[in-house]
Every structure is written in structure tokens, then in C-alpha cells.
Structure 1
Amino acid sequence: MSLLWQIHRKQITPAVYGIIMSGGKDMNNAYLTDESDEDGNFGFTDIPFGEYIVKEIAAPTGYILSDEQYPVVIAENGDIVEITAENKAITVSISKEDLYGNELTGASMQLIDENGDVIDEWTSDGENHIITNIHAGSYTLKEVAAPDGYVIATDISFTIDEYGNVTVDGVEANAFDDDGNSIVTMIDDATLVKISKQDMTTGTELPGATLQVIDKDGNVIEEWVSGTEPHYIEAKLIAGETYTLREITAPDGYNTAEDIEFTVNADGSVTEVTMKDEAIIVTTPNVATGDTGKSPLGYIMVIAGLVLLTVSIFARKKKEESADDYAELCPDFIEGEED
């Protein structure tokens, strides 16, 4: 008995179809198989009369294996049965986000297969990146360069099975886009710099200082006046780049600090920068106040002065007594002198 059965596959090549006896226990054990040609056609010949099921055994590369079954009845010699089968392309959606779920622009991305070949590369543009007709297998999503103000994320490994199911790090993806495609999401940490302006002696935050962060080209990236809490700069400075912290004006009573150079951490950790101001010291000269009562030298000087005063009074008194004695002894001489 000779029977020709032809099946036309639409658009896609190649695929493998099998014909299975209807009611058979093993649906994976095909009676006959055939591979579609370059036009998507395949067929079976010399099929005995009976009821059969045609199903896809292997999908074309980059397409989801169809689980659809086509029941067919062969009743006459020379019957030609024609069916149309379609496969949905394996598609994955790549999302590049910040910590708050916002799509990022400017990230250089690559998708690498298990052989280490780059099968797709692109720059994020604020929308999900769609990769279609991707083979079932294992992949690595890699960020080559992060957007300014963000840190390069860790690689993400994921697999796609023949049914298009995506598993990320052993967990099946549970996020899908509007077209039902699995989403693989890579999140970038923002750079975060903590700048503390402190009193050199107490280590407490010092308000009132005008500060600037300047890039390597001399551009002022941010300017602010210090307060009672450290100042944070988020998602603005480039990871791995070196900047200068400069004090433009110091608070009253403080000296202006020297510039500080710092490099933004590239590992996602907080970059901490501390600038300390030294208080201006006012020196008062030691001027004598005349209060010698508390000094030993003062006591000595007072005593010496009293002694000299006493001696002077005593000497004067002795002199006056000697003159009186002489006048009593020579009164005429005294009177003559007076005349």
C-alpha cells in the first residue's frame, strides 16, 4: 500500500516532525520522522491506513518547541494530507535598571553564549532590549561599561530551555513583558560619596564651610555649604575617577583646609572623604599689671623699699640732731653767719 503524506511548515527551517500511532503509550516514540527542507516542507510516504498524530520532535534553532499535536486519519491509498505548523521564536527581554526600577541609558552590554562568543551587544537606551531567535542554551549577560554615576554590575548567568523558559541563577524567571517574553533584569548600583567636614580637634561636623567637588578637567561638579550632617553625592560621580575636594570659604574662626584628592570606589561601596579645619589660635601678650602681691619678687621689692625708706628717714633725723648740737656749742658763729 502506498500513501503520500505531505506537511508544509511555514517560514522556518529546519525542524524535525514525527508521526506516531494514535493511542500509543509512548508519544515520544515516532513511527517515522522527517526534517523540513529549506522551504519548510517535509512529508511521509508508505504510511499504512489508520489514525495518527503528528508532532514536532525538534524545533528549529531559535524557536520554541511546539507541544501542539495534529491528529490525522489515513483512509485511502494515495491520500495527501496537508497541515500548516508554526513556531514561536525564542525571545528574551533584557532590562537595565537602577536601584529604584528606572531604566538606565548609556550602559554598554553584551550577551555571551556558552562558547564565549558575543552573540549580541548594544547600549541601553531606556527601553528593554529584545533578543529574538535566540538558541536554547546557557548565556552570560555582561555589562562592559556602566553609565556615568553608576557601578558596573556583576555578570548574570541564565539558561533558556527548548520551550523558551528562562532560568536565572537556578530560579525560573517570573517577570514578563507585554508580549509574554521572559525578562532578565540587571541592576546597577549608583556611586555614593560621603563627604564630612569636621573640626580638627573635636571631630564633630563643622557647619558653614563652602565646599566644591572638581573633576580632572577643572569643572565644578557640585558646590554646597556644610551643615551638621555629612554631605552625600549620589549617581553623579564616575566610578574609578579621581576628583578634588576644595574648601572655598572656611567657617568663622577656622583656617581654610588644603585640597583633598579622592577616587570614587568602583565596587559599589560608599566612598568616604573627611576634611578637617583647624581653629584659628589668638595669642595674648603677657603684660605686667602691677599686682605684685602674688609674686615672691614683689614681696622682696616691697620689703626692700620699706628698708630704704626707713634708713633714709633715720639718716635725716640724725643729721638734724647733729646740727642742733653744734648750734648750742657755737651760738656766735651761727649768728655771724646769719648777719
Structure 2
Amino acid sequence: ITGAPVEKWTSGTTPKELNLAPGTYVFHEEAAPEGLLKVTDITFKVNYDGTVTVTNIGEKDAKGESNTVVTDGAKITITDKTDDLPRKITFSKVNLGGDEVEGAEVEIYKGDTITGAPVEKWTSGTTPKELDLAPGTYVFHEEAAPEGLLKVTDITFKVNYDGTVTVTNIGEKDAKGEMNTVVTDGAKITITDKTDDLPRKITFSKVNLGGDEVEGAEVEIYKGDTITGAPVEKWTSGTTPKELNLAPGTYVFHEEAAPEGLLKVTDITFKVNYDGTVTVTNIGEKDAKGESNTVVTDG
């Protein structure tokens, strides 16, 4: 294909008729319609009897397949194949600080629902994940988030024929009632897992040696491992256990005053875990009797 073409056109809904003198020509597809692969250059001959003969079917196409060309008298039919070649798409799973997060269990489903088996699945690491995906619609599904982070809801995206990616549905609101945070940049999609600081329901039971709830203990809960600043919760114990909503983290149980006839406990450090359980991390100093605090956790 040297010099200027003798004919050029954009295909339409009907075949194209040309008047060509007998001789050898090259059919060159400069650009294929979106969703189709262009054929490689095809050499053909217009014969003196008005028929056409393909003399060189061309190189293999982007799929590594031969062109599909059929002649019938003076007609030549050339087939553009579907462009389902994979594009390289990069997935970045980050925290609010922009750092890649490890341990997110991710699945990619073909189509706009998570039905059947995923076409790809992986556990996130310290670097973005590269996948080869054909053009089309997919769902990003986070099966499980790393500890301390909230998983995102399902996100629908489209791999375009030009190799870029577009989010078509950002998904439902997350467990915090907030929208997912998703950014695309060319062939890269960055999805942010937010910090899991949702409160968990924790129950405090203040009992005597007989196991009965005691009234009148003045209790304070401090965030962190020291009793500094203002307590995040405070109450006076009654005849039933006290339920609090506490975000995951470390706290100090401080008994400001015990009911008459009872010794107050020393400060006890505990941790609210992401699974909603509680762990005592420091049972505290010995009490006024020189004995250790008696603390039991259950869930």
C-alpha cells in the first residue's frame, strides 16, 4: 500500500460497488467498527472477465487467525471478526491513606450480576493486580475485607474496546451508609476500603461474689490504654448488665466508686475486636486486699 488509494469509503448497511480496471489491488481496512477486529491487507485481482480472485489472503490478524474472505464472481466478501481480545486492566485496592492493602478477597464476575463462577479471583497484596479482561461488563465483588477495613459493595464496570475502564454502577451504600470510593484512570481502577470503626455491642456485668448484679458502682470507660481526658462512656450500675456500643480498639474500664460494702476494682484494659468479641489485655494492678481483679469474658 504505497501512494494514494484509488478508492476509499466508510462501510454502510449495503455492499459497496466500485468500477475497477483489470489488475492487482490491495484491500486495506484502515479502521474497524468498535467491537470488531480489522482484517490485515488482502491482495486481489480483477480479471478480464469481470470476476475477482484473491491472490494473497493476508497476514494473520490480531487473534493469530487467518482472514475470512470469500469471492463469488465479481463479489468479494470480507468478514470482520468480533474483538474479544483481552485488555490489561489494573486493580488497586487501597486504604484511606492510599496504601495498597493486603488480604482483601476479591472476585470478578462477567456480566452485571454475581452469578455462576467468577472469571478471576485473588487476595490483594502490596502491589496492584493486573488482569487480562475482554471488552464487556463485569462486577467487582469483595468477598472479605482485611481486618480493620470495611468491604465495599459490588461495583459494576465496563472494559472498553480502547482498553480503558469505566464504572457503570458505583454500588449500594456500604455498612457506614456511605458510597464506595472508586477512581478510574485509563486502564486502572482504584477502590478504597474504609476504616472499620463501626461500633460493636459490648455488655458489661458488674457482680458480687455471689454472681448478682450490684447497684451503685460508678463506672467510666476511657479510649486508649490510660485514663486521660474525658471518658467515652460513664454510668452507675444497676440490677441489669450495661450494654454499650464501642468501636474496635483499646479501652480502660475504670471504677470511680464502688457500692458501699464492696471494694472497687483497679483499672482494667480491654480490647474490642473486629469480630465483636472482647479481650482483656491487662487485668490491672492488685486491689486494696492485694488480690488480682476477677474478670471473665464471654464473646
Larger Rg: 1
* Structure richer in helix, relative to its length: 1
Q: When the two structures are superposed, what TM-score results if normalisation uses the length of structure 2? A: 0.47
Q: When the two structures are superposed, what TM-score results if normalisation uses the length of structure 1? A: 0.42
Q: Pick 1 or 2: higher relative contact order, CA cutoff 8 A, min separation 6.
A: 1
